[in-house]
C-alpha cells in the first residue's frame, strides 16, 4: 500500500505545478520594499549558494567532464543577465523607503529555464540510463554539465540581482 502512495504524490505534484508556477510568477513580479537588512541577508545567502554550486560542480567534474566550466560560464552569464534585469526594474524612491518592481519577463524566464532544463535532464537521463552499461558514462551522457550551467545562470542572475537591489537600498 505505501508504494501506491508515491506515484499518487508524484501525480499530485505534477498536477499542481502550473498553479505553483503561476503563484511564484505573481510573487516574483510584485512591488517590494528594498529593506537594507533583508537585501544584505539575501545577497549573503546567494553568495554562499553560488559558492556551493561551484564547489559541487568541481566535485562533479571528476565524473562529468566540463561540469565546473559549465557552472562558471553559467554563473558569469547569469550575472550579465542580472544587469539587464536590474536595468529593466522599475525603481521608486519615496522619503520612507526604496521600492522596486522586477521585470515580469525575467521573473518568468529564469525559473522557466531551470524547470525546463531539469525536466529535460531527467528525461534524457532516464533514456541514457536504460541503454548505458556503467554509471560514469550515464552521468556524463545525461547532460549533467548543461544542467549545472543552467543552475549557474539562475544562481548568477539572482546573485547579481540581489547585489544590485542591495546597492540601491544602501543609497
pLDDT in tens, 95-138: 888 999 998 888 888 878 877 877 777 777 776 666 666 555 66
Distance of CA 169 to the CA centre of its chain: 23
Question: Taking the CB of residue 75, how many other CB atoms lie within 10 A of it?
Answer: 25
Give 77-98 pLDDT, tens digit per residue.
999 999 999 999 999 998 888 9
Rounded to the nearest integer, the mean pLDDT of the chain is 84
92: left (phi over 0), alpha (psi -120 to 50) or beta: beta
48: Cα within 13 Å, side-chain hemisphere: 5
100 φ, ψ (degrees, to nearest 5):
-145, 150
Burial degree of 94 (CB within 10 A; 0-12, 13-18, 19+) = exposed
Question: What's the farthest any 2 CA atoms get from each other in the chain?
Answer: 65
- Residue 59: is its pLDDT beyond 60? yes
pTM of the full structure: 0.79
Question: What residue segments make up the domains of the chain, in order of their start?
Answer: 31-170
pLDDT band at 20 (very low <50, low <70, confident <90, very high): confident
pLDDT band at 140 (very low <50, low <70, confident <90, very high): low
Q: pLDDT value at position 129?
A: 67
Q: pLDDT value at position 139?
A: 61
d(CA 43, CA 151): 17
Amino acid at each position: 500500500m505505501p508504494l501506491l502512495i508515491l506515484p499518487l504524490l508524484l501525480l499530485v505534484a505534477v498536477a499542481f505545478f502550473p498553479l505553483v508556477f503561476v503563484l511564484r510568477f505573481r510573487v516574483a513580479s510584485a512591488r517590494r520594499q528594498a529593506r537594507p537588512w533583508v537585501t544584505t541577508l539575501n545577497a549573503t545567502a546567494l553568495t554562499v549558494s553560488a559558492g556551493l554550486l561551484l564547489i559541487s560542480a568541481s566535485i562533479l567534474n571528476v565524473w562529468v567532464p566540463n561540469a565546473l566550466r559549465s557552472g562558471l560560464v553559467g554563473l558569469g552569464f547569469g550575472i550579465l543577465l542580472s544587469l539587464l534585469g536590474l536595468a529593466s526594474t522599475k525603481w521608486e524612491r519615496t522619503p520612507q523607503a526604496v521600492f522596486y518592481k522586477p521585470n515580469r519577463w525575467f521573473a518568468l524566464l529564469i525559473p522557466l529555464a531551470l524547470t525546463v532544463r531539469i525536466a529535460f535532464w531527467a528525461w534524457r537521463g532516464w533514456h541514457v540510463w536504460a541503454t548505458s552499461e556503467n554509471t560514469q558514462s550515464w552521468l556524463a551522457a545525461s547532460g549533467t554539465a548543461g544542467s549545472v550551467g543552467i543552475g549557474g545562470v539562475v544562481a548568477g542572475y539572482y546573485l547579481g540581482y540581489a547585489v544590485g537591489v542591495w546597492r540601491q537600498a544602501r543609497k
